[in-house]
Amino acid sequence: MLTTASTRALDPSDLDEALAVLNREPVDNAFVTARVRASGLDPWRLGGEMWGWYRAGRLESLCYAGANLVPVCAGPEAVRAFAERARRQGRRCSSVVGPAEQTAALWELLEPHWGPAREVRPHQPLMVTDRESAQVEPDPYVRRVRKDEMERIMPACVAMFTEEVGVSPLAGDGGLIYQARVAELVGGGRAFARFAGDEQGGGVVFKAEIGAVTPQACQIQGVWVAPEYRGRRLSETGMAAVLRYALREVAPVVSLYVNDYNTAARASYRRVGFTEVGAFMSVLF
């Protein structure tokens, strides 16, 4: 029995304890929870390690260490322990992301060793709703993307990612990993779009995906409107349509997070019915 604070990499036998921690904050932890529910705690399937911080033998906090470094339910002591483990291991992630307070504390300890970052987004409002929009009529032309429409949706996905992250997802491996992720979302019925000239194979007007999914919550991501269609409130009607799908078919609570400087998007989401309940932070390398 452990009697003092300690940190170790979890293994599949720790799954129930890890899920109990994740379920304390089902909206904040949706991304990590979804990965764990889908893949368990085997590092190969999970795409990284899950570190656990224990106090007196009880699992109190987690940190997902994969392509992203994500603190979960981590107080100051746990953050320090995770930062020390990450520092010793060396940076393997492309971002540090999570609830703003925990992530800021983690980055403060890691920056002298890992910095400088390419970009730091210290305050990304977390927005949530549990009901369909009362003010915005869903766009009737927004629908699920079919599996045979990958060539139609990919240019919009690449454009969105490049605008949002600042680098192309096609860099490095030529986009194989990113294309596989988009295909997974399309295949799972969680990619939505409105196409111009739908019958004639036109391009994307609006798109969004339902990314992380758990029984308690899901997260909308990748919201994008083609530049020539912006300013027509298509993001509002499109989001209202995706929200309706999400609440009726996926989870009882829907969330998203947005850059604080994107005032137009924040206002749009508020009109659809989302309210700000917290904040995330992202450190991009």
Tens-place pLDDT, residues 6-64:
999 999 999 999 999 999 999 999 999 999 999 999 999 999 999 999 999 999 999 99
User: Cα 253 to the chain's mean position, in Å?
Assistant: 15
CA distance 232 to 170: 30
Q: Supply the range of the domain harboring residue 246.
A: 143-278
Last residue of a domain, one of 100, 116, 132: 116
Q: Are strands 68-72 and 95-99 parallel, antiparallel or unpaired?
A: parallel
Residue 128 phi, psi dihedral angles, 5° rounding: -140, 150
Residues 150 and 274 in one domain: yes
The CATH number of whichever domain residue 195 belongs to comes to: 3.40.630.30
Residues 227 and 159 in one domain: yes
Predicted local confidence at residue 171, as pLDDT: 84
Region of poorest pLDDT, from 63-67, 120-124, 176-180: 176-180
Residues 191 and 270 in one domain: yes
Residue 203 in domain? yes
Residues 147 and 271 in one domain: yes
Residues 110 and 147 in one domain: no
201 pLDDT higher than 80: no
Predicted local confidence at residue 1, as pLDDT: 46
CA distance 281 to 73: 15
Number of domains in the chain: 2
3 pLDDT higher than 90: no
185-189 — which CB contacts under 8 Å span 24+ positions? 185/209, 185/210, 185/211, 186/145, 186/146, 186/147, 186/149, 186/150, 186/153, 187/147, 189/144
* 171-182: average pLDDT: 89
Residue 125 in domain? no
Residue 197 in domain? yes
Last residue of a domain, one of 101, 116, 131: 116
Residue 121 in domain? no
Residues 58 and 180 in one domain: no
Residue 152 in domain? yes
Question: Residues 251, 214: contact at Cβ < 8 Å?
Answer: yes
Residues 86 and 174 in one domain: no
224-227 — which CB contacts under 8 Å span 24+ positions? 224/156, 224/157, 224/159, 224/160, 224/163, 226/156, 226/196
Residues 151 and 45 in one domain: no
Question: Residues 70, 100: contact at Cβ < 8 Å?
Answer: no
Residues 182 and 89 in one domain: no
Residue 137 in domain? no
Residues 219 and 111 in one domain: no
Confidence of residue 199 (pLDDT cuts 50, 70, 90): low
The CATH number of whichever domain residue 15 belongs to comes to: 3.40.630
Residue 124 in domain? no
Residues 150 and 239 in one domain: yes
Burial (0-12, 13-18, 19+ Cβ within 10 Å), 140: exposed
Residue 162 in domain? yes
Residues 150 and 107 in one domain: no
Residue range 77-112, pLDDT digits in tens: 999 999 999 999 999 999 999 999 999 999 999 999
Q: What is the value of pTM for the model shown?
A: 0.92
CA distance 247 to 47: 29
Q: Please give the C-alpha separations between residue 81 and each of 61, 178, 218, in angstroms, as whole numbers.
A: 10, 32, 29
